[in-house]
A and B are shown apart, each in its own frame.
Chain A
Amino acid sequence: GEDVEQSLFLSVREGDSSVINCTYTDSSSTYLYWYKQEPGAGLQLLTYIFSNMDMKQDQRLTVLLNKKDKHLSLRIADTQTGDSAIYFCAESLADKLIFGTGTRLQVFP
């Protein structure tokens, strides 16, 4: 089936780490993505991970992939107010991307 699930909200204090989780159901996905959507804007590709990797780090972002549990996470270190946005995970299946429902991250001082 094609179903990507995320929790809807996450609230963190500025300077703390944020962890956004995602579960997917189709093990044949070859790439998994994280997108960021700021208010009134389209989605912007943040990072992606190939399915044969279990971790990818890019500056403050760390992506962890557990293929056995079909679980993907995005960790943002030292979260800033500018990180407040909606974060979508997406899996690639054949010829299209399937998006999760999005997690709204709120950063408070």
Chain B
Amino acid sequence: NAGVTQTPKFQVLKTGQSMTLQCAQDMNHNSMYWYRQDPGMGLRLIYYSASEGTTDKGEVPNGYNVSRLNKREFSLRLESAAPSQTSVYFCASSEQLGNYGYTFGSGTRLTVV
């Protein structure tokens, strides 16, 4: 059982470069999420998608865009990377929004120099 798969696992970018983080789930979940994890700050929600075809901003959306390509895939794009976006990024999915446990991917460690 793959669950939630994120690629790449590690990435180093130069300031101003762009990249897309990929996420796919094979559990037929409706909702998907992107979080970033920074030391001492826990997980902060960047964007989420309640269902295929919808996306909404979370707590820290600035500097990011997302695409819910289909039910399985939810990508996160950094158009012009900044050092403040150095973080570990986690994708998660759940059956529905709201009161359900999330399944997390193993994360992408991104460094912007």
List of B residues within 8 angstroms of A101 by Cβ: 40-42
* Contact flag A99-B43 (CB < 8 Å), given A41-B106, A44-B104: yes
Instruction: State the Cβ distance, B65 to closest chain A Cβ, in Å.
Output: 19
Number of A interface residues at 8 Å Cβ cutoff, please give it: 22
Are A42 and B101 interface neighbours, CB within 8 A? no
- B interface bracket (residues with beta carbon within 8 Å of A): 20 to 34
- Distance in angstroms between the alpha carbons of A8 and B40 in the assembled complex: 7
With a CB–CB cut-off of 8 A, which chain B residues contact A8?
40
For the complex, is B64 an interface residue (Cβ under 8 Å from A)? Answer: no
A97 with B106, Cβ < 8 A, contacts A4-B42, A8-B40, A42-B4 known: no
A31 to B43 Cα, complex, angstroms: 18
Chain A residues in the interface with B (C-beta under 8 A): 4, 8, 30-31, 33, 40-45, 48, 88, 92, 94-97, 99-102
Smallest CB-CB A-B distances: 6 pairs: A42-B104, A95-B97, A101-B42, A45-B101, A99-B43, A43-B104
Given contacts A42-B104, A92-B98, A94-B98, 17 further A-B contacts (CB under 8 A): A8-B40, A31-B99, A41-B106, A41-B107, A42-B105, A43-B43, A88-B42, A92-B99, A95-B48, A96-B48, A96-B97, A97-B102, A99-B35, A99-B42, A99-B43, A101-B40, A101-B42
